Amino acid sequence: MTKIELALTNAAGLHARPAAQFVQKAAGFSSKVTIHFGGKTADAKSILAIMGLGLGQGSKIELTADGPDEGECLVALKALVEGKFGEG
């Protein structure tokens, strides 16, 4: 299992469009991916679970991935978050 910590810096956090992008990216990997925030845990491949966390701008999350492509998965998700989901 591999873990990383990230801060959401895009203007609106993980609202519908970025959450969908996040889920789509995570679903491209076979590893199990989980988001941890505020004592809650969500399946990163479920848009409803992610939206339920209420992640706004500045939220600090921990991502864990467990599986054969966990490192590659976290690198891709980190790039998506740090690229502000293409929001400029």
Structure-block tokens of residue 38: 């505020």
SS3 44: coil
Please give the backbone phi and psi of residue 39, each rounded to the nearest 5 degrees, phi first: 80, 0
Set 9, 15, 43, 72: catalytic member: 15
**DSSP run (H or E) holding 43:** strand 40-43
Largest CA distance in the chain: 33
Catalytic-residue membership of 15 = yes
Cα 9–Cα 5–Cα 37 angle in degrees, nearest 5? 80
Active site residues: 15
